[in-house]
């Protein structure tokens, strides 16, 4: 018999060392006990408090009950349940419970023929309460004992069929975690060797429970730490990406600064060089009057170019500050006609025609006259510089469709177009097309940047498209500007448009 006991103990020790599942360890222990001691059934019951693990301290209350005509005072845990964690053999009759315990019956029906996972309050069974008072000693109930002395008794014990009972507490450091239950259908005595062996198995189960719960606790900590680490890594990744974006932005700003300094230096030095040359020539006493007039013209033109560059830069700087547009009522027909006459001489020299497409009826619009005039002047100046000689430039003005108290200005020209890769850059400061630079067309790269800032200042939008025409040498370029009215209802739409083929000059 001792060899059998030792074999079971060795199997349990090996299972615990290899971290076998706790349920399998329970089954192994019950199978070995019931076969070696020769009893009808074995169970493992575990205590659990609603506040947490059974290993925690459980508050106590005192309760008195009768046992063999003597009074005993028992300390009963509050809010504590007992659950069947393992049963051997598993096949057993399950009686129908009282209506008040229907939820428990539903749980039993999920495990037909077994009490597995069945739970009950510890206050519902005096046998379990008695066990808690005499830890670490077992509770033995012989077949001749009166079960009514322990009433109430949980139905899982089935004392009418299995009257001989041994309850061995499973405890750790003075705290009860559950009990080991052995029952037999006939009267029998529990030998000292048997009790010692059951106590040894209970100690093994205690070790397995503590080890499993410790591992679960460690795994929970590891999972929590892993989650925290993952979140930390995600935050670091976001910070890294944010830093990378900021560095990329700084790199672009540095490139723009270098390009700005290079462009400004060139645009400032070129007129100054021409002006210096003209001054030196004018200092010659023998210079003919016609050449004097020519050099004076050069001085005037270069001075105007220098002044224009500085004014554009100051205007852009001013637009970068938050300001409110000063809106007034504008008669768009007269306003656009006046803007179209602002640079007649240079349009005539290039043989360009500006065709206006305006509403037939007066179109009154609320906007900032100064900003709107600068937009028109810059767009017309841009069209003049890049349009083919002796070509037509079309400027159309109309209310938006459907009417939304806004106007749409469309400027269309044929000439030196915009490459697809340059479309997104032409509104940047000091950005000019590659072909414009190669053909030495005068410009600072500030005109369209100023137009975009002014349109945004008026809460409008600007778009551009450019595509080659059939010949392939020239491109059709179209700028579209949508401007909302400064005051709702100020755009008076016309039902028809009239074509005004005005030749500028």
User: Helices 192-282 and 22-37 sit at what angle, rounded to 10 degrees?
Assistant: 170
Report whether pLDDT(28) > 90: yes
- Is 60 exceeded by the pLDDT of residue 64? no
Give every CB contact of residue 171 below 8 A, 6+ residues apart in sequence: 135, 136, 177, 206
CATH superfamily of 2-223: GAF domain (3.30.450.40)
Q: Where in the chain is the domain with CATH 3.30.450.40?
A: 2-223
Give the other-Cβ count within 10 Å of 460's Cβ: 21
Whole-Å CA distances, 353 to 372, 388, 416, 477: 22, 11, 16, 16
Residue 175: how many CB atoms within 10 A of its CB? Answer: 14
Residue 302: what pLDDT? 80
Q: How confident is the model over 183-193, as a mean pLDDT?
A: 90
Residue 239 main-chain phi, psi, to 5 deg: -65, -40
Whether CATH 3.90.45.10 fits 227-319:
no
Is 404 a residue whose pLDDT tops 90? Answer: no
pLDDT at site 91: 46
**What's the chain's average pLDDT?**
78
Asked if the model's pLDDT at residue 52 lies above 50, the reply is no
CA distances from 398 to 265, 406, 479, 491, 504 (A): 41, 9, 14, 10, 21
Whether CATH 3.30.565.10 fits 328-500: yes
DSSP letter string, 122-172 = GGG-HHHHHHHHTTTS-EEE-TTS-GGGG-S--GGG-TTT--EEEEEEEEE
- Interacting residues of 443 by C-beta distance below 8 A, sequence separation 6+: 385, 432, 436
More confident residue, 431 or 162: 162
pLDDT of residue 68: 32
Average pLDDT of the segment spanning 152-167: 89
Q: Where in the chain is the domain with CATH 3.30.565.10?
A: 328-500
Enumerate the CATH 1.10.287.130 domain ranges in the chain, comma separated. Answer: 227-319
Indicate if the pLDDT at residue 10 is higher than 90: yes
d(CA 152, CA 154): 7
Render 381-424 in DSSP notation, one character per residue: HHHHHHBPTT-EEEEEEEE-SS--SEEEEEEEEEES---GGGTT
Are 434 and 425 contacting, i.e. CB atoms less than 8 angstroms apart? no
| Choice between 10 and 363, residue whose per-residue pLDDT is larger | 10
> Pick the residue with more confidence: 237 or 344?
237
Query: Would the pLDDT of 449 be above 60?
Result: yes
From CA 181, how far away is CA 167, in angstroms rounded? 5
From CA 355, how far away is CA 396, in angstroms rounded? 8
Per-residue pLDDT reduced to its tens digit, 104-139? 334 334 444 678 889 998 888 888 888 877 666 788
Q: Which helix (H) or strand (E) holds 452?
A: helix 447-457
CB 164 within 8 A of CB 34: no
Check residue 86 and give its pLDDT. 92
Q: What integer pLDDT is reported at residue 105 of this predicted model?
A: 38
In the prediction, which pLDDT does 32 show? 93
Q: What is the pLDDT of residues 269-321, one digit of tens each?
A: 777 888 888 888 888 878 888 888 888 888 888 888 778 777 777 777 777 76
pLDDT of residue 434: 66
pLDDT at 181: 95
Max mean pLDDT range (182-196, 291-305, 329-343):
182-196
Query: What is the rounded CA–CA span in Å between residue 302 and residue 300?
Result: 6
pLDDT, tens only, 206-218: 999 999 989 989 9
Structure token digits, residue 76: 């009963």
Find the mean pLDDT for residues 425-444.
69
- Asked if pLDDT for residue 394 goes beyond 80, the answer is yes
**CB-based burial label for 373 (10 Å; 0-12, 13-18, 19+):** middle
């Amino acid at each position: 018999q001792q060899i059998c006991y030792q074999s079971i103990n060795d199997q349990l020790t090996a299972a615990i060392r290899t971290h076998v599942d706790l349920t399998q360890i329970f089954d192994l222990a019950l199978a070995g006990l019931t076969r070696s001691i020769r009893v009808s059934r074995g169970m493992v019951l575990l205590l659990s408090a609603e506040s947490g693990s059974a290993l925690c301290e459980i508050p106590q209350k005192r309760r008195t009950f009768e046992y063999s005509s003597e009074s005993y005072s028992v300390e009963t845990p509050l809010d504590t349940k007992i659950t069947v964690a393992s049963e051997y053999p598993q096949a057993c009759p399950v009686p129908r419970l009282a209506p008040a315990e229907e939820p428990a019956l539903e749980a039993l029906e999920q495990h037909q023929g077994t009490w597995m996972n069945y739970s009950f309050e510890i206050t519902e069974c005096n046998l379990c309460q008695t066990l808690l008072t005499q830890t670490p000693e077992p509770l033995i109930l012989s077949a001749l004992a009166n079960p009514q002395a322990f009433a109430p008794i949980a139905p899982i014990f089935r004392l009418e069929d299995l009257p001989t009972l041994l309850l061995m507490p499973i405890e750790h450091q003075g705290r009860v975690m559950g009990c080991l239950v052995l029952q037999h259908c006939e009267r029998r005595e529990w030998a000292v060797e048997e009790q010692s062996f059951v106590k040894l198995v209970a100690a093994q189960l205690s070790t397995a429970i503590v080890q499993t719960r410790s591992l679960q606790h460690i795994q929970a900590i590891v999972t929590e730490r892993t989650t925290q680490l993952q979140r930390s890594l995600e935050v670091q990744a976001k910070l890294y990406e944010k830093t990378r974006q900021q560095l990329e932005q700084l790199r672009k700003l540095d490139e723009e600064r270098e390009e700005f300094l290079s462009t400004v230096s060139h645009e400032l030095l070129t007129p100054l060089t021409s002006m210096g040359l003209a001054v030196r020539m004018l200092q010659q006493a023998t210079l003919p009057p016609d050449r004097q007039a020519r050099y004076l013209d050069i001085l005037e033109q270069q001075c105007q170019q220098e002044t224009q560059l500085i004014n554009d830069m100051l205007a852009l700087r001013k637009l970068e500050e938050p300001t409110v547009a000063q809106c007034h009522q504008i008669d768009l027909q007269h306003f656009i006609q006046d803007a179209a006459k602002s640079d007649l001489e240079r349009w005539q020299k290039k043989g360009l025609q500006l065709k206006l497409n305006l509403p037939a009826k007066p179109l009154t619009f609320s906007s900032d006259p100064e900003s709107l005039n600068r937009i028109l002047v810059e767009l017309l100046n841009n069209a003049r510089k890049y349009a083919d000689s002796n070509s037509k430039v079309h400027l159309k003005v109309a209310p938006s469709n459907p009417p939304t108290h806004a106007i749409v200005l469309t400027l269309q020209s044929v000439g030196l177009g915009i490459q697809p890769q340059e479309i997104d850059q032409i509104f940047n400061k000091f950005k000019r097309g590659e072909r414009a630079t190669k053909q030495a067309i005068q410009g600072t790269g500030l005109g369209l940047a100023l137009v975009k800032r002014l349109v945004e200042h008026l809460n409008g939008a600007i778009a551009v498209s450019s595509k080659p025409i059939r010949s392939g040498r020239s491109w059709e370029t179209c700028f579209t500007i949508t401007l909302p009215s400064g005051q709702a209802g100020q755009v008076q739409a016309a039902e028809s448009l009239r074509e005004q083929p005005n030749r500028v000059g």
